Structure 1
């Protein structure tokens, strides 16, 4: 019998002596030592079959191939006569992964991440993979500011050739930034510059922002923020010389030093255009933001090159190259610029790709596009398409990229990537008052039903005065060209007797159908038709005007309500608008054959103005007018009301305006509303201090004004009620929360106040 041992390592490296044997014809192949691996898997990697000749080269190839699978710890090939014997020692399998002492991360999320690098239960154990996993785990802790973390791995052998892996972690304490110094600042105070950057020393918001924990990425961003600050204020030669980060021996405190050189301030002496000017020079000059004599500003210069590039993009030149070359005069401290324009080739869009929409159907996004496939590239249409998708309100983020098609010079693809957000909303509203105590309201809505873009909402209001139950459904694209259709059902009960507002009750039930028609890019007109039946209960102590209305027109009225409206929405974002406006006009008229005859018209204009940084000014104005016709008055329950969230904060809901009187002429608590309404709001929106660039928490300071006038009153703007206060909007993990604290500035002794109001919601 011939028997030769070919050591695996020697054969694999082919660098040591291999026992020689004569080539032979294989009569049989036997595999020994396997427990989990199928014999067929081994046969697939062998370079020889039964009946073929076997030699030393094939033996080396077989050993290399079997080692490359990663399944085996040792591989030997033996020869017994003309039988080939493959002897294997399998690597152990991972039976379990455990983490001891881990609090900073979710264990299941870490397991999922380790699975991506090859370390998971039931997989083959590999020491090199374990070492990489250990280093990756340490890196994750370092990214959270835990520089004193210690990670040890314990591998425990188990029966049936398995191992248990346990990561023993001592997380240590989070290192905090104790001091940040900016060295070299002369023109600006260091404390003012420190307010510009995200990283900070511990403060009362650090538990949420984590900005007192060092991050290389945040520091790089802060350095660029400083650079932009100086370059936008004329400091053309500004430079960041160095950034130094040091940590104390106990790895608890971090000190950051940023060294800068400000240089001199420059003014602009002139700007000229050069290159291939495809458009009239007069038109391009209008796009230049910097003028001779202006203080140099990199932002304005960048805006100039971007405006020219975008203008060329609107003509199909997607790859237009616009660069500015400075020519500084250090003695005079002036700088001139030559803007070189290279339009490149005109291109068209090959394909539009929608990415990231796991729930929302492609067509819901594509129908908002104004750029078409196969058409010439148009930057304005692409930007408008992105804005329209963003205004849907279904996504947290919408980004557009236009990569060139490989192998072509005149084609691009448009890749629109969205980050979906929950569009179902369970909203709770609450307010406190001395008269009604706690008022609760609830609404359930789904703005993107099953990803179709259709909306369904159910509203429940459990206030002690108003109880409302309504169901609405809207299909925004009932037809492919954007005609919408919606349905409404509602039941509304009003019972103000508990508040001594006048003893009466109304119960309304109705159903309606709505249509919307796009007439321009940002304009829509709406039409609706609804049937409403309202029953009124009055009592002996009810206000006389209620009794008179019921005596004249009956205690049950059926109305045929026709509605018409126009809306224009040019906001840049549905969630956090910073520019643009919303304008709405709506009208409602009760027509024959209904019992009532009246009309109501409302107008709203809301405008957003970007000021500086992330500060935005919102101005809102609303007007309302109502009248009866055909010898019938405007029903008292159709009056306009003012007060509370949505109109004038600081006052109870619907509490502003003329009050009712009883039969003896005594003033009641009830407000009768009015047929004319004016509301004005001015609100400054800005990030919460200490939050840096995080926009999940915003503050607002506001001034509200408004009033209503009854039929027998003259409209006098001197009667307006005013309030001012502070608002907070937080996109919290629990859902959107809104708070407001308001102080009335102009009020009457009979006004009812409600200084604190809040609204909270939860998404699903």
Structure 2
């Protein structure tokens, strides 16, 4: 006969003198009521085993232990003779989770977030956890400005003690910031102050940026920007006293009010240094950009203390403390600063650690390091090392940390953590012509072959007019001193019948070997020697200029070009530079003794100027000139051309320059021996994807001049438009929409131009 112990045991939990039965030795344990839970799982949680003596205390412990698992909503212990009977009622399991009306968030992201709260398919259903998950989901909608969002949760019982959970969501429209008010501001117009905020009222781009939707984090950041703005204008005691955020009754409009106390405007009365300088005080004073008589600026003061810290860091004082202490004279509205300098101990680098390079070899990163192990720490060299590793182009992120070595006061490690990125490139170029319709070109390259840092590339152009096959190889560290070595082998076929260029065809086969010699941290010299064999075919439609050249020098020519180059790369980033200058000068000379003797010389310049934290101005220019020498003419197939997505945008590719009119009155371009192009472009990134996408507004200028033509700047062609560059999941994409500004009769325009590619 079974005897239930539940009620008696509960009483026994409050009164140790109450017992429901005489203790006995358990001969067997039987589990009843389970459907999904294995009996072995129940036995593993029971504190009672066969052969143990069961009393009211152990029975109570058994009930408590099984309840604690969370698997059961009812637990009873009964006795059947000398058998302990555990009667269980399982909690239901979650079979399915469904969403109705979910648009604002990705379903997989929400499923993952719910799993972290304990709600997931296959887990035990807990109403308390479901309520918590529902509240968290509502909170997420509030962060997106959807204050009217309504979430209804339905739990549906299913067979085999399971349930289905349905989230029925009415998202509603996101509330927009209707107005931002700043109360207490007198020194500046409210419009100027509000312009410092990232949060804003609805505008033409806010559909993407979401900056017209209230966010507590964004408001906190904006208030700090407002404070910085005031303090950089001399308002040392500026303070934000309070903020109020209210929402309209229909939960569609948000009103933000900021109450400020501007305080007085202060001037700097004096500034001095104090402490242990470690280096010349006069040298440190030159780094202070805040001068007596200046209006106080927190930014300029911070720049001064940072410059002093960086200068000490260059001498090995990695943990220098530089702090500016103010002395305020409220009556005169002056502030005096004493900059206290504590260089600390001079430290050296114990070890350089490279992590995150799953494919790239350690040596590829280490050979770019300018900070050496065992040497005094040099902040400038650490920064240069980071930039050099970044400019390899092998990594999407490069982070450098300099933690102190535990247990020492004069050592630190340099930890370089990199995030690998695809370094193979499959580039596709797409163009149009009246005959070819679609022109495809491409190249496949691996810039980090087998993680060695070497470059291997194959270029293929499959257009009807230009067929190119090139294999190239470059070892950037042919020697340990950084001398590079590489070679190229190519076969090129040209047929200009379907292009804007005057009609001819050629077949070129050749190769070259090249070396690069570093002559500075950012500069190098290049030397190359090549061999080229080119066969030329002219036609009745070809210009007489082409025919005369073939008659004079033959239809097959051999040249031995020697190339010299100078490169200076001072930009701060490989992909999206914001500052620095890049220069390149080159000279190609086909040496005497070959069928053709000519030279081609050029100079290119790119200069990046940071206008603000979001906008970068780029100025670029190129001038190139070529001619024959030794009584020989410049080969016409070595002429320069301009126009197109990588030149003067808005004009059709290779369409600028001297014109040849055939007997039918059709105009064709024959190129020239001088090229002058330039560009001014302002870049900006889109919020949230600055590392992958940027847009630009450009003004391009350029022209090509023929032999004997005056370099007339009045013949330059101008264009303007919008550009976009996107490192997309399918590869790099480049777009431009340009419009000629001074198009003349005969010019060929092309508004939309693009290149596309993929990475692997």
The 8 Å contact of residues 424 and 446 in structure 1, kept in 2 or not, is answered as yes
Q: 1:204 to 1:430 in 2, by over 3 A?
A: farther
2:623 aligned counterpart, secondary structure = strand
Are residues 199 and 381 of structure 1, via their aligned partners in 2, closer, same or farther at CA, if it must alter by over 3 Å?
same
Deviation at 1:477, TM superposition (A): 5.0
1:533-556 Cα deviation digits (max 9, x unpaired): 322111234222211222233222
CA distance in 2, matches of 1:319, 1:46: 58
Could you give the per-residue CA deviations for residues 192-214 of structure 1, whole angstroms, max 9, x where no partner exists?
A: 22222221211222222111111
Shift of residue 359 of structure 1?
Answer: 6.6
Q: Deviations over 1:326-377 (max 9, x none)?
A: 1122222221111112223344445555566667666654543333456543
What is the CA–CA distance in structure 1 between the aligned matches of 2:254 and 2:640, rounded to whole Å?
60
Task: Look up the SS of the partner of 2:305 in the other structure.
Answer: helix
The match for 2:672 is 674
- The aligned residue for residue 735 of structure 2 is 738
Q: Conserved in 1, the CA contact under 8 Å of 2:472 and 2:486?
A: yes
What is aligned with 1:241? 241
Cα distance change on mapping 1:9 and 1:620 into 2, 3 Å: farther
Aligned counterparts, 1:557-596, within 5 A: 557-591=557-591, 595-596=595-596
Structure 1 equivalent of residue 198 of structure 2: 198
Whether 1:726 aligns to 2:721 is: yes
- 419-428 or 313-322: which moved more? 419-428
Instruction: Render the CA deviation track for 1:460-499: whole Å, top value 9, x for unaligned.
Output: 5566754545454545456666554545454433333345
Using a 3 Å threshold, how does the CA distance of structure 1 residues 311 and 217 change in structure 2: closer, same or farther? same
1:171 equivalent in structure 2 = 171
> Does the Cα contact within 8 Å between 1:601 and 1:626 map onto a contact in 2?
yes
Q: CA deviation at 1:520?
A: 3.2
Contact 2:353–2:415 (CA<8 Å) still a contact in 1? yes
Q: 1:297 to 1:707 in 2, by over 3 A?
A: same
**d(CA) in 2 for partners of 1:755 and 1:270?**
61
User: SS of the counterpart of 1:157?
Assistant: strand
Are the counterparts in 1 of residues 231 and 296 from structure 2 also a CA contact under 8 Å? yes
Distance (whole Å) between structure 2 residues aligned to residue 514 and residue 91 of structure 1: 75
Q: Is the 1:731–1:737 contact (alpha carbons within 8 Å) kept by the matching residues of 2?
A: yes
Q: Is residue 433–residue 499 contact of structure 2 (8 Å, CA) maintained in 1?
A: no
1:384 to partner: Cα distance? 1.7
Partners of 1:530 and 1:599 in 2: CA distance: 14
Residues 1:187 and 2:187 aligned together = yes
Q: Match of 2:237, SS?
A: coil
Distance 1:606 1:442 in 2: 26
- For residues 271 and 423 of structure 1, do their structure 2 counterparts lie closer, same or farther at Cα, with a shift above 3 Å needed? same
Q: Do the aligned residues in 2 keep the contact of 1:703 with 1:722 (CA within 8 Å)? A: no
Cα 1:188–1:370 shift into 2, 3 Å = same
CA distance in 1, matches of 2:450, 2:92: 46
Tell me if structure 1 keeps the 8 A contact 2:9–2:59: no
Cα shift at 1:31? 3.5
Q: Distance in 2 between matches of 1:367 and 1:69?
A: 56
Q: Summarize the alignment of residues 23-102 of structure 1 with structure 2, pairs less than 5 Å apart.
A: 23-102=23-102
TM-score by length of 2: 0.88
**CA drift at 1:732:** 7.7
Q: 1:127 to 1:516 in 2, by over 3 A?
A: farther
1-structure distance, mates of 2:80, 2:385: 75
**Distance in 2 separating the partners of 1:10 and 1:603:** 93
Q: Deviations over 1:217-272 (max 9, x none)?
A: 11112112222222112222222222211111221111111222222222211111
Q: C-alpha deviations, 1:492-513, integer Å up to 9, x for none?
A: 3333334574331123344444
Q: State the alpha-carbon separation in 1 of the partners of residues 212 and 377 from structure 2.
A: 45
- Measure how far apart 1:154 and its partner are: 1.6
Q: Which runs of 5 or more residues in structure 2 are unaligned?
A: none
TM-score (norm 1): 0.87
Pick the aligned partner of 2:708 from 691, 702, 712. Answer: 712
Deviation at 1:36, TM superposition (A): 3.4
Q: 1: CA distance between counterparts of 2:672 and 2:402?
A: 55
Which moves more between the two structures, 584-593 or 260-269?
584-593
Q: Is the Cα contact below 8 Å between 2:434 and 2:498 reproduced in 1?
A: no
* CA root-mean-square deviation: 3.7
Distance 1:753 1:485, change over 3 A: same
Which residue of structure 2 lines up, in the alignment, with residue 132 of structure 1?
132
- CA distance in 2 between partners of 1:480 and 1:27 (Å): 80
**Counterpart position of 1:369:** 369
Distance 1:421 1:225 in 2: 34
- Which moves more between the two structures, 430-439 or 472-481? 430-439
Gaps of 5+ in 1: none
Matched residue SS, 1:754: coil
Aligned to 1:603: 603
The alpha-carbon deviation at position 290 of structure 1 amounts to 0.8
* Inter-CA distance 433–78: structure 2 relative to 1 (3 Å threshold): same
Q: Where does residue 632 of structure 1 map in the other structure?
A: 632
Looking at structure 2, the residues matched to 126 and 366 of structure 1 have their Cα atoms a distance apart, in angstroms, of 54
* Counterpart residue number, 2:151: 151
> Could you tell me whether the CA contact under 8 Å between 2:703 and 2:717 is conserved in 1?
no
Once the two structures are TM-superposed, the CA of residue 458 in structure 1 deviates from its matched residue by 5.1
After TM superposition, the structure 1 = structure 2 runs for residues 129-528 of structure 1, keeping only pairs within 5 Å, are: 129-349=129-349, 352=352, 364-372=364-372, 375-405=375-405, 409-418=409-418, 427=427, 429=429, 441-443=441-443, 447=447, 453-455=453-455, 459=459, 461=461, 465-477=465-477, 482-498=482-498, 501-528=501-528
Instruction: State the distance in 2 between where 1:587 and 1:278 align.
Output: 49
Give the Cα separation in 2 of the matches to 1:564 and 1:200. 54
| Alpha-carbon distance, 1:591 to partner | 4.4
